[in-house]
Amino acid sequence: MLKKYIIHYPTLLRLGIPIMIGQIGTVIMGIIDTMMIGRYGTGELAAAGFINGIVGLITISALGFSYGLTPVVGALLGKNETGSIAQKLKNSLLTNNILALTMMAIMAVLYQNLHHLGLPEHLLPLMRPYLLLHTLSFIPMMAFNAFKQFSDGILDTRMPMWILLGGNILNVAGNWLLIYGIGGLPEMGLTGAGLATLLSRFAIWAAFAGIFHFTKRYEPYRKDFWKAQVCKEDLRQMVLLGVPIMLQMGMETASFSLSAFYVGWLGTTSLAAHQVMLTVAQLCFMLYYGMSAAVAIQVSYYRGAGRLREIRHVAFAGLHLNWILGLLTAVPIFLLRDQIGTWFTNSQEVSTLVAAVVIPLCIYQFGDALQCTYCNALRGMEDVKPLMRIAFFAYFIVSLPLGYLFGFTMHRGLWGIWMAFPFGLTTAGILYLIRFLKR
């Protein structure tokens, strides 16, 4: 009975592990980033925290938009119509750059109105250049995303992994040199961290573009790329696929981001514990999303090849692997619950609160694995419109109201706010699964 699923495990692991490594590497570098800024100054850390919260939401949403390319490329590969893949990439690069310009316009409005947001005046001179540098990095970031999704779609997930890891190392080195002014370079503080991010994003984009255009690895696609045309039909396809995924990922991220407003009402200790838990949760999420991206790739390939029976088998195989990952992460997190807080802070109050909130975190790992798997299975089938409706219901109608109910009406504080996440994530997972089975 299990054999029809087990045969898909090796391929999913081969595709998924490089994606997981690349994403987890980015998260770890982000943590190191935060530590380096924090050591420079408390004001810089506070300014970075506010800007990163806003930029992070937009960045994840934009990443979701680029995900629309993967199922298209995977289906063409399954049909053995590889000659059309380069044209899809060219049109995806254009739509991604248009979105990058739109994001930059939004950030320009924010830049001009920072002083109207009630922020401490002494932080504004730190925030403005940092926000500006992040804004300038959107174009290389979105161009890289297009190349990455193309590469994932043709089953080459290792190249993006190596480029991402190289970019992360470059970012950390840039931080060290530019934040503190090492080796005769100017000491730039938070602005130096923003400049390092900008340079590393240009570097990974240039690296991928160079590998695509000047190496044998992508030679079959490069020939078609120069002959490919920008056409309305392909542009429309990228938008129709990308926008629903963008909104779905944005709403999921927003359910966590907006919960921070609730946590803020509880005080500084709860906010600190909440930040620690978000860091741990992000590491777990990247594991599931890496494996689930492999599910999307394989589903799109089998859909293109007309092997429809395999679609259900590969999705369930992906769920098995994600639940195993959930178990492998939840058990050590639970056992180490009293130590986790001490890795980030010297405050015993924060550490005690973190230990309590670990319980809802462990509970929702299995719902998170479920929603990641079947959200991406639907993405692989190009059935993305329902993702928006399901995400809105699960995160805005279920999760956020329950967070207020448990946290304040039932007086459970931070534990109650986090206890709402299992309900929202599991609701999304069940609804995605029902939609998948109907298809």
Task: Give the C-alpha separation, 5 to 25, whole Å.
Answer: 29
Counting every residue written for the chain, the total comes to 439
In this prediction, residue 1 carries a pLDDT of 67
Task: Give the C-alpha separation, 317 to 5, whole Å.
Answer: 5
Q: Which residue has the tokens 């299990």?
A: 2
Task: Determine contact, residues 387/241, Cβ cutoff 8 Å.
Answer: no
In this prediction, residue 30 carries a pLDDT of 67
Q: b or e along 365-382 (b: 16 or more beta carbons within 10 Å of the residue's beta carbon)?
A: bbbbbbbbbbbbbbbbbb
In this prediction, residue 402 carries a pLDDT of 93
Q: What is the dihedral of CA 366, 367, 372, 377, to 10 degrees?
A: 100
Take residue 12 and report the two structure tokens written for it: 């999913």
The DSSP symbol for 67 reads T
Provide the H-helix boundaries in 41-157.
42-66, 69-78, 85-112, 124-136, 138-153
Angle between helices 268-305 and 308-335 (to 10 degrees): 160
Task: Give the C-alpha separation, 263 to 272, whole Å.
Answer: 9
Task: Determine contact, residues 188/178, Cβ cutoff 8 Å.
Answer: yes
Please provide the DSSP assignment of 204-230 as one string: HHHHHHHHHHHSGGGHHHHHHHHH---
Take residue 412 and report the two structure tokens written for it: 């459970």
Chain segment 303-351, per-residue pLDDT in tens: 888 888 888 999 999 999 999 988 998 899 889 888 888 876 677 887 8
Task: Give the C-alpha separation, 125 to 112, whole Å.
Answer: 12
Task: Determine contact, residues 181/21, Cβ cutoff 8 Å.
Answer: no
**Which are the contacts of 24, defined by CB distance < 8 A and separation ≥ 6?**
283, 286, 287, 290
Q: Which residue has the tokens 């050590």?
A: 332
Helix or strand run (H / E) with residue 371: helix 348-380
The number of beta carbons lying within 10 Å of the beta carbon of residue 81 is 11
Task: Determine contact, residues 319/347, Cβ cutoff 8 Å.
Answer: no
In this prediction, residue 274 carries a pLDDT of 77
The mean pLDDT values, 10 residues at a time, for the chain of 439 residues are: 83 90 75 71 71 78 87 88 88 94 91 78 84 92 92 90 90 89 85 91 94 89 86 90 88 80 75 76 82 91 86 92 90 87 77 88 90 92 90 93 91 90 94 91
**Which are the contacts of 127, defined by CB distance < 8 A and separation ≥ 6?**
47, 50, 51, 114, 119
In this prediction, residue 49 carries a pLDDT of 67
Q: Any idea what the Cα angle at residue 24 is, between residues 107 and 47, rounded to 5°? A: 35
Chain segment 210-250, per-residue pLDDT in tens: 999 998 888 888 888 888 888 899 899 999 988 998 988 88
The number of beta carbons lying within 10 Å of the beta carbon of residue 105 is 10
Task: Give the C-alpha separation, 339 to 345, whole Å.
Answer: 10
**Which are the contacts of 331, defined by CB distance < 8 A and separation ≥ 6?**
none
**SS3 at position 176:** helix
